[in-house]
Structure 1
Amino acid sequence: MPDSSEASLPAFRRLSYSVGHFLNDLCASMWFTYLLVFYHSVLGFQNTYAGVLLLVGQIADGVCTPLIGYESDKTPGCGSYGKRKTWHLVGTISVLLSFPFIFNQCLGCDLDTPQWVSLTYFTPFIVIFQFGWAATQISHLSLIPELVTCEHEKVELTAYRYAFTVIANITVYAVAWLMFHFQTQEGDDPAITENLGLVDIPVFRGLSLTVVGIGALFSLLFHLGTREKGARPRQEEEGSSPGECQPLLNNTTVAPPTSLLQWKHWLRQPSFYQVAMLYMSTRLIVNLSQTYISMYLTYTLLLPKKYIATIPLVMFLSGFASSFIMKPLSKLMGKCMTYFLGLLLILAFSCWVLLDAHMGEKVYGTAVLLGVGSATILVMSLAMTAELIGDQTQSGAFVYGAMSLTDKVANGVGVMIIQTLHPCRTMVCCPGCVWYYHYIMVIVTGGVAVLAALSLCTILIWPIKIVPRDNRPGVYEALLDNRFTSWLT
């Protein structure tokens, strides 16, 4: 019996694939962590205006994602370059050209420029950036089922991908800390060195240019080292140990053409909605906590501005360390129970924040809980999405696009609701910020974790499974009915 590792993806190709989302991760780290901080605390935008910019970006991303997913599945790509890598290249160029303008002062604007003018100026750059971000994300995720077919290898590849996501976040926060540190060394006025304001525009501009430069190099490595191909031959998996690398297709049978699912067929799959709800809940926890952690540190705990770099840094260092045990842990406990373990850590963070309103330096302990918990649930939710797609790689981009649509719209609407309900109507934060951001951190972690737990329960009761497609009248309905009643017998 041949060793199952012979069919594994070579180490260099695993590495080159894993860094293909690095530019996106660098930009996403700045987008979610510092967008509201930059536009509200630095440029002085009103809460609702800052929320509108983030909402516009999320809606643009949400709309572009399924459309790009559909086109990515449908179009052949640029010659022999591959359809996924072609879309990845288009997305990368769009991000590189637009992102530096988002974290910079409006060109030609001054202190007397109306905020709606600045809002109009930034909107096109945000839309272009989100289009590029979506194109890169969907094409990169869609490569997972095409590069590997083994379930545990998919988890491993997803874990490596997330490890570089964490490295990207660590890079952003480390560079941000260095820039704030050098700024502190140059000035003696606490009002400047401790509080955010217009003086910090060069810091965020320099950070965005650094992000774009580093990300471009890693994108080049991805395009040079990753070879896109079609579905792997079934014979590759023949003889593999079923406990380690089970083939997704039966080696002795050829699936009929009707077994291939196109985008409209996914809408009739119950597991599609189960995984979509779980993925949306996961992203709400990860993204909203990342968005509001800086506000919580600045206005609730009243910590110096360097903490908006050091606390997220601790979070993602913890997540990075935990990402390497995802594969053995998921093999031991299963993906669902590993996800549940991550939820317990998120709930522990939420309870700690709720009960300790003046934690001060103890916030580092909560950062570890949130970092490890977020890493765990994100990797497992992506692994479940790859499991849902299975051998249906011809429509994999649509599935990832649809999952991302629910995530982006939910995040954008969530941020807009939070910004609209903000108790302070002026540009300067009022005393109401103290309790407001305190409870926001509790709700966006613990509250959404309850929703994620309910979604997980549906998967435990009705495991992820594709209902076979059959054109005969009544057959699909009978299979679907059996899908939801078999757990009772």
Structure 2
Amino acid sequence: MTGGSEEDPFTKPIGRWSVFFYGVGHMLNDITASCWFTYLLLFLTQIGLSPRDAAIVMLSGQVADAFATIFTGELIDRFGHFKIWHAAGSLLVAISFSSVFGGCLPCSILHNDSLTLETFSYSMFAAIFNIGWAATQVSHMAMVNCISLNSTSRVALTSSRNAFTMVANLGLYAIALVVFGVIKAGSKEDTETQYRWIAYSSITIGCCFVVIFLMGTKEPRLRIDLKQTSRARIPWVYWFRKLLYYQVAMVYLLTRLVLNVSQAYLAFFVIDDLQMDQSAKALVPAIIYICSFVVSVLLQEIPWNGRRLKAYYTAGGIIWIFCGAAILLLPRDISSFMYAISVFIGIANALMMVTAISMQSVLVGAEVGGCAFVCGSLSFLDKMSCGLALYVLQSHQSKSNKVMTGTWPYKVLVLVLIFSSRNHSFLTMLAVLC
């Protein structure tokens, strides 16, 4: 039997149910990550940690996540078993996430409420949570390349995953809107109760979708079918010799930087800078994710090739430039325009995220023996850059302030986003020429 006949079944488009079952597999990660980036810094500063201590907690999780992605990717390439890694990572996420937002467990055991112990406790559980998160992310992302070799099906799988990411985010903000409305934060204990309920609800919903994924998705067999070929396993140094690897890495890094860091400071911005109602810290992100969900669903219906990926990505970057400029110039007395800006941010986020992740599949191609390492190494860059960016921005806040005040951190961030988006367009145009 020839290699071509072996690959034929995998070059055909896959069914919609397969796309659906795959898409829900990252829901637990997505809903907890949304809570992590949107509310962690806000939660920690509200319960009394300094901005620098809150930044340390965030950074510890990001660094643990970064290194875990590298090791997980290498181990998956060596031993396979995507679903086992996914299930194990999901279990670790479910167990540890409640401790991130559930109060300081060592403080309760030792009857010690020192800020040093609180910082250590939250940093430890943040690291554990992110290790589990990394195992789930890498295994789920790498599966795309082993489920199908068809480029349109790979983008459909990525679009489905991104669509359910939006569903997860909307679910979180719906939960947050209810919890913030029912439980009023009059004290530190009330604040901890608020976020504990948000965490427990998120874990319950996410675990239900993990079960659906594990029951509906088959373990990819493409690696086994190709194990006799030269593509069975690819050394990690192979990727470092390819120019395309560095191009895709830069695009993916800047995209994640735009999405994650902007999300982390969005709640601060709408409350402290624009002085909008408290409900805005749930409504503004909800609008962003509704628009991203709609665009992600529409992107599944498009036949894809490399040139179209670059064109849509560049369009998303240009939209983000205009959104960033609008945020910089938005005066407080017309803060309601933030809702309109949120619509375009959601569109840009979907265009950039779906195409940036799909570029990884273009990089991997049929060389699936190293797909997990590619996903892990690019995620390493993403986690380290986001962690360091958040640490630098947060650690420069005044130590006398319990919460972030002032406009300069978010405006500096937006300038970074505009610069990044310009580089996105430059890189994609360069890739077209190449």
Partner of 2:376: 401
Residues 11 and 309 of structure 1: CA distance in aligned 2, closer, same or farther (over 3 Å):
same
Partner of 2:101: 103
Any residues of structure 2 matched to 1:360-379 within 5 Å, and which?
A: 360-379=335-354
Residues 125 and 302 of structure 1: CA distance in aligned 2, closer, same or farther (over 3 Å):
same
Partner of 1:342: 316
Partner of 1:30: 35
Contact 1:104 1:201 in 2 (8 A): yes
Any residues of structure 2 matched to 1:105-120 within 5 Å, and which?
A: 105-107=103-105, 109=107, 113-120=113-120
Residues 380 and 6 of structure 1: CA distance in aligned 2, closer, same or farther (over 3 Å):
closer
Any residues of structure 2 matched to 1:278-427 within 5 Å, and which?
A: 278-328=251-301, 331=304, 334-358=308-332, 359-422=334-397, 424-427=398-401
1:74 aligned counterpart, secondary structure: helix
- Report the AA paired with residue 244 of structure 2: S
Partner of 2:20: 15
Q: Distance in 2 between matches of 1:438 and 1:85?
A: 39
- Report the AA paired with residue 326 of structure 2: W
Partner of 1:135: 135
Q: Distance in 1 between matches of 2:10 and 2:376?
A: 31
Q: Distance in 1 between matches of 2:285 and 2:345?
A: 10
Residues 259 and 164 of structure 1: CA distance in aligned 2, closer, same or farther (over 3 Å):
closer
Contact 2:91 2:132 in 1 (8 A): yes
Question: Identity, % of aligned pairs?
Answer: 27
Contact 2:38 2:265 in 1 (8 A): yes
Higher Rg of the two aligned structures: 1
Partner of 1:428: 402
Superimposed CA distance per residue, residues 426-457 of structure 1 (whole angstroms, 9 cap, x where no aligned partner): 13347xx2222441342243232123223323
**2:219 counterpart (217, 228, 231):** 228
Contact 1:357 1:438 in 2 (8 A): no
**2:430 counterpart (439, 447, 458):** 458
Q: Distance in 2 between matches of 1:144 and 1:279?
A: 16
Residues 114 and 455 of structure 1: CA distance in aligned 2, closer, same or farther (over 3 Å):
farther
1:292 aligned counterpart, secondary structure: helix
Q: Distance in 1 between matches of 2:347 and 2:219?
A: 32
Contact 2:27 2:206 in 1 (8 A): yes
Residues 20 and 256 of structure 1: CA distance in aligned 2, closer, same or farther (over 3 Å):
closer
Choose 5-14 or 154-163, whichever is displaced more. 5-14
- Report the AA paired with residue 15 of structure 2: P
The Cα of 1:104 is off from its aligned counterpart by: 1.9
1:445 is the counterpart of 2:417: yes
- Report the AA paired with residue 263 of structure 1: W
1:257 aligned counterpart, secondary structure: coil
Choose 397-406 or 440-449, whichever is displaced more. 440-449
Q: Distance in 2 between matches of 1:417 and 1:65?
A: 23
Q: Distance in 1 between matches of 2:322 and 2:316?
A: 10
Q: Distance in 1 between matches of 2:426 and 2:344?
A: 21
What is the aligned length? 423
Superimposed CA distance per residue, residues 116-170 of structure 1 (whole angstroms, 9 cap, x where no aligned partner): 1101112221111111100000000111111111111111111011000000000
Partner of 2:54: 50
Superimposed CA distance per residue, residues 6-65 of structure 1 (whole angstroms, 9 cap, x where no aligned partner): 93323322211111111000110001111101101x212111111111111100000010
Contact 2:11 2:148 in 1 (8 A): no
The Cα of 1:260 is off from its aligned counterpart by: 6.2
The Cα of 1:369 is off from its aligned counterpart by: 1.3
Partner of 1:94: 92
Superimposed CA distance per residue, residues 350-408 of structure 1 (whole angstroms, 9 cap, x where no aligned partner): 11111123231111011111111011100000111111111111110000001100000
Q: CA RMSD in A?
A: 2.6
Residues 261 and 75 of structure 1: CA distance in aligned 2, closer, same or farther (over 3 Å):
closer
Contact 2:155 2:304 in 1 (8 A): no
Q: Distance in 1 between matches of 2:314 and 2:389?
A: 23
Q: Which structure 1 segments of 5+ residues have no match?
A: 77-82, 185-191, 235-248, 463-489
Contact 2:62 2:384 in 1 (8 A): yes
Contact 2:292 2:346 in 1 (8 A): yes
- Report the AA paired with residue 294 of structure 1: A
Larger % of helix: which?
A: 2
- Report the AA paired with residue 68 of structure 2: C
2:183 aligned counterpart, secondary structure: helix
Any residues of structure 2 matched to 1:208-247 within 5 Å, and which?
A: 208-231=199-222
Residues 5 and 271 of structure 1: CA distance in aligned 2, closer, same or farther (over 3 Å):
closer
Q: Which structure 2 segments of 5+ residues have no match?
A: 1-7
2:312 aligned counterpart, secondary structure: helix
Q: Distance in 1 between matches of 2:188 and 2:354?
A: 36
Q: Distance in 1 between matches of 2:231 and 2:88?
A: 33
1:44 aligned counterpart, secondary structure: coil
- Report the AA paired with residue 52 of structure 2: T
Contact 2:49 2:402 in 1 (8 A): no
Residues 374 and 307 of structure 1: CA distance in aligned 2, closer, same or farther (over 3 Å):
same
The Cα of 1:105 is off from its aligned counterpart by: 1.7
**1:67 counterpart (42, 50, 71):** 71
